[in-house]
């Protein structure tokens, strides 16, 4: 059951990335770009979670998961602070 939930979370992040970046290409609104990048990194975070829990249970992917979560939050924070309309 965990495999299904982890996979659905990764696919949801991927769908959000695709929708946000597609909307950015149409409107050129910069906050959509930063949000799309944030969700792209969250997709990798979920992929690392799948690797950690399912594919390679004996290998520790926790540092990669933490770094990718930090990078995703920093990208969104940068977009929220420094992008003006």
Is the per-residue pLDDT at 85 higher than 70?
no
Q: Say how many CA atoms lie within 13 Å of 49 toward its Cβ.
A: 20
pLDDT in tens, 24-72: 999 999 999 999 999 999 999 999 999 999 999 999 999 999 999 999 9
CA distance 6 to 54: 9
The pLDDT, as a whole number, for residue 4 is 95
The pLDDT, as a whole number, for residue 84 is 74
Angle, helices 62-82/30-50, rounded to nearest 10 degrees: 170
pLDDT band at 22 (very low <50, low <70, confident <90, very high): very high
């Amino acid at each position: 059951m965990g495999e299904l939930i982890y996979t659905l979370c990764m696919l949801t992040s991927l769908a959000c990335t695709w929708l946000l970046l597609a909307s950015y290409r149409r409107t050129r609104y910069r906050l959509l770009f930063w949000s799309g990048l944030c969700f792209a990194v969250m997709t990798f975070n979920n992929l690392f979670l799948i690797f950690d829990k399912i594919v390679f249970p004996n290998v520790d992917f926790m540092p990669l998961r933490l770094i990718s979560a930090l990078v995703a939050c920093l990208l969104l924070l940068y977009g929220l602070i420094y992008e003006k309309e």
